[in-house]
Structure 1
């Protein structure tokens, strides 16, 4: 077969519904395969429904913490808080298999990593920015937090 005949076979394959042509001619074997056209599908990720389904389940757990926070604040006039620098999901450890960055009773310095906040699939390590002892963890692992929301109490 010459180049012109091969080119014609390619055009026939391209215009037909066939996906493959195999030809043997004078000891020469020609295999032509049409690759499937791949459609690019862009997944649409919506965090809104996930947040809505998680928030109601965690709201009852959050309410007692809020009332405890008010009571403890009146008792501890020298207590400081570590607040969320952004909106995101709070994680107390780098992965579910690892232990928490800090626990109640741990001493922290300004540069101690205390948690991770996930925002838009980016994991941001949060530093204590205060020195002292963790007296209370105010949020649950996996909970959505707002900008400025207290995360830890430090004495």
Structure 2
């Protein structure tokens, strides 16, 4: 079997709904398997419980103000190094462009800067927490 034919076969099987494929041609055996995730294999994760036993989720009130959101997926850090003082904490006055935290993505440290002048009302992510794109990190009251 020619290289181009093999590549075409792999792409065809990958793009199909087949979970496995076997073939023998001129003494050459080809076998492919895909790892399929079905809904039966996926377990639902319980919501984390707050310290007082309440569930964290929709019921929790986020203070009103300007939201600073994660610009990328990664690990959020509140300080520049372990054991160092946090960039900001609740009650601190911040200026536009001031560093609020860091998100590490692909071994690169990305500073999260304030988009607003104001007072930090809430820090919504914990140190070393994985954050998603668009996830609220800070609330700043102007």
Q: Which residue does the alignment assign to 1:154?
A: 140
Whole-angstrom CA distance in 1 between matches of 2:92 and 2:124: 15
Deviation string 1:1-42 (CA, Å, 9 cap, x unpaired) is xxxxxxxxxxxxxxxxxxxxxxxxxxxxxxxxxxxxxxxxxx
Please report the TM-score for the alignment, with normalisation by the length of structure 2. Answer: 0.59
1:64 to 53, 56, 63: 56
CA RMSD of aligned residues (A): 2.3
Question: Are the structure 2 counterparts of residues 143 and 67 from structure 1 closer, same or farther at C-alpha, using a change threshold of 3 Å?
Answer: farther
CA contact (8 A) 1:90 1:116 kept: yes
The Cα of 1:72 is off from its aligned counterpart by 3.3
Gap regions ≥5 residues in structure 2:
1-44
Q: Which residue does the alignment assign to 1:130?
A: 116
Please report the TM-score for the alignment, with normalisation by the length of structure 1. Answer: 0.54
More strand by share: 2
1:106 to 92, 101, 104: 92
Gap regions ≥5 residues in structure 1:
1-55
- Between structure 1 and structure 2, the one with the greater Rg is 1
Whole-angstrom CA distance in 2 between matches of 1:60 and 1:114: 25
